[in-house]
Amino acid sequence: MAVFEFNRAIVRLPAESVVNGLRAGDQESPSFEGVRREHAAYLAALRTAGLDLTILPPLPDHPDSIFVEDPALVFPEGAILLKPGAPTREGEAAHLAPALRDRFETVLELPEGFADGGDVLALPDKVLIGLSARTDATGAAALIRLLARLGYKGEIAHTPPGTLHLKTASSLVDAETVLATPALAATGLFAGYRLLLTPDGEAGGANLLRANGHILASSSYPRTLDLLAGTGTTLLPLETDQISRIDAGLTCMSLRWHAPIGR
């Protein structure tokens, strides 16, 4: 399956409440202006990569709603509404549902358990679902059944202790290459793929977004950018200082797919 060829994306503008977003550590809160600036640069990078954007309005009652990929997944064949494991994110999928139903004939809903889009990594031959504090075994099993209805093979991935999300520790670089932290790579999860390992001290650089011939990557990890320079893609380095304070990466801020011409 083509997993980084996109022409459409859904994004949501940040609300001022984004400064109260979830975070795993005790890092300093971001500023709203800082998040808004970084988000605007992200949207510009998506357009540079060739994506047409649907921009949804802010949701003040949902601080983390800027991260639209956590409560839903999209594929050319349809969309799946998820149930993120964090209680404060309950209700976000319902706000996304109308936009998805306007664009997809098939919109499925996770029937049980919890699953967060940050734990879902689409590879050319399968879709990995990482177990985490936000995705449980029941939700992962239910998601595998829904993926099968769309024609995809899902597989549960066991991540090392301390891994926030599967995609905080790994990303697809091209059809044959995955960038991963050494700890995740050591699990053997990516057998059969060429592996690039994040340099010491740059584990956060493992989250990047491949979109067509471009890679959106954090400018906070210069050695990771050097590693990616030889991949034959156009690098689009982006500031992530503010969004990283609320555990955000570059994949979670958009829902991306390839739609037929005219749709």
Please state the domain extents for the chain: 8-257
* DSSP 8-state symbol, 106: -
Distance CA 141, CA 112 (A): 9
* pLDDT of 248: 86
Can you tell me the distance from the alpha carbon of 58 to that of 191, in angstroms, rounded to the nearest whole number? 40
Q: What percent of the chain has pLDDT over 90?
A: 89
pLDDT at 263: 57
The CA-based diameter of the chain, rounded to the nearest angstrom, is 46
Contact predicate 210/172, CB 8 Å: yes
Q: What is the pTM of this model?
A: 0.96
**Over the stretch 185-224, which tens digit does the pLDDT of each residue have?**
999 999 999 999 999 999 999 999 999 999 999 999 999 9
Q: How many Å apart are CA 170 and CA 147, to the nearest integer?
A: 20
For the chain, residues with pLDDT lower than 50 are none
Q: Give the pLDDT score at 262.
A: 58
Please list the alpha-helical segments (H only) found in 215-260.
222-228
The domain 8-257 is classified under which CATH number: 3.40.50.300, 3.40.630.30, 3.75.10.10, 1.10.3720.10? Answer: 3.75.10.10
